[in-house]
Structure 1
């Protein structure tokens, strides 16, 4: 995560690693193209620099593309590790959701064809994106955060299936 943050800062992308990853995931889930200049696309900023080939952001793109399309569901959110505070981890999750919604909206458009389950999941992601991080918590709060992270991960995969994978499937049929 620190490599992603460092390269993001060097390219003057004013977003956290979690939010940037969420935006990339949303872009891909919404059917956006896998391109090296992805920061310009997912941040809707044509002036955003293209990551160096093989750099942290280029590797993040390649890994994310592979994970989100993995039939074994190996997709992971880029979030702080378990040693970080509850506040830092929950804040990063909510940032990830904000990024996801932005990237998804840019790629999928205003009215993507979604299942009822995906529409509900998208609504839940919007609620999470509007939530403030929790400052302190106990074991129960830790478990709740882990459940939220899993829900977000599965929701992102479901939205990817409804939009990006469904579009590819329709193209193959035609």
Structure 2
């Protein structure tokens, strides 16, 4: 039997196996929100945040390692000047599930940005982008219609969110000096 599960499905299976109650999309959004707020949690703090987010007292080592990998990969993507950042969303699902996945990603991002406790005056464009992400997080997946037009619109919103998050990160995340690891979430 070949294992052709997507990264989303593998993470979903790991979360379910651990007894967690969070979507992989919301988890990824949370990580990106914390990073965009400028926090760079250490392993122990990531472990604590993961346990709280998944509503688990203890996080299995394999899930914790996967979470750490996602955090490091997300930080690298957000810092990449080639704009290779990608949202972790449900891929091979119907449009309403994909819209829900995007909404959960945005909820996770907003939660993470709050936990990351951005310090300073929020630039107007970031403030507006956060408001837009809040609107996307309120998506009513049951009201999403099927069809080519709806597919196209969802792809446009996904791209809008991706670019908005990169812009927020660019405007708010501190750029570490050479050899520095940035702020740490405590």
TM over 0.5: yes
CA distance in 1, matches of 2:171, 2:58: 29
- Which residue does the alignment assign to 1:85? 94
The whole-number CA distance in structure 2 between the counterparts of 1:66 and 1:139 is 34
TM-score (norm 2): 0.78
RMSD: 2.8
- Equivalent of residue 26 in structure 1, options 14, 28, 33: 33
Aligned to 1:69: 79
* Alignment gaps of 5+ in structure 1: none
Name which of structure 1's ranges 46-55 and 83-92 shifts more when overlaid on structure 2: 46-55
The alpha-carbon deviation at position 47 of structure 1 amounts to 4.2
User: Which range is displaced more, 160-169 or 118-127?
Assistant: 160-169
Change (3 A) 1:8 1:156: same
Distance 1:149 1:8, change over 3 A: same
- Residue in 2 aligned with 1:60? 70
CA distance in 2, matches of 1:47, 1:13: 10
State the TM-score, normalized to the length of structure 1: 0.83
Residues 153 and 28 of structure 1, relative CA distance in 2, 3 Å threshold: same
Question: What is the CA–CA distance in structure 1 between the aligned matches of 2:76 and 2:136, rounded to whole Å?
Answer: 26
For 1:14-163, what aligned pairs fall within 5 Å after superposition?
A: 14-37=21-44, 38=46, 40-41=48-49, 44=52, 47=57, 49=59, 51-52=61-62, 55-81=65-91, 83-109=92-118, 112-133=120-141, 134-163=143-172
Contact 2:36 2:169 in 1 (8 A): yes
The worse-fitting range, judged by mean Cα deviation, of 43-52 and 143-152 is 43-52
Q: Distance in 2 between matches of 1:43 and 1:100?
A: 17
**Does the C-alpha gap of structure 1 residues 107 and 27 become closer, same or farther in structure 2, counting only changes over 3 Å?**
same
Task: Flag structure 2 segments of 5+ consecutive residues without an equivalent.
Answer: 1-7, 181-186
CA distance, structure 2, for counterparts of residue 36 and residue 148 of structure 1: 33
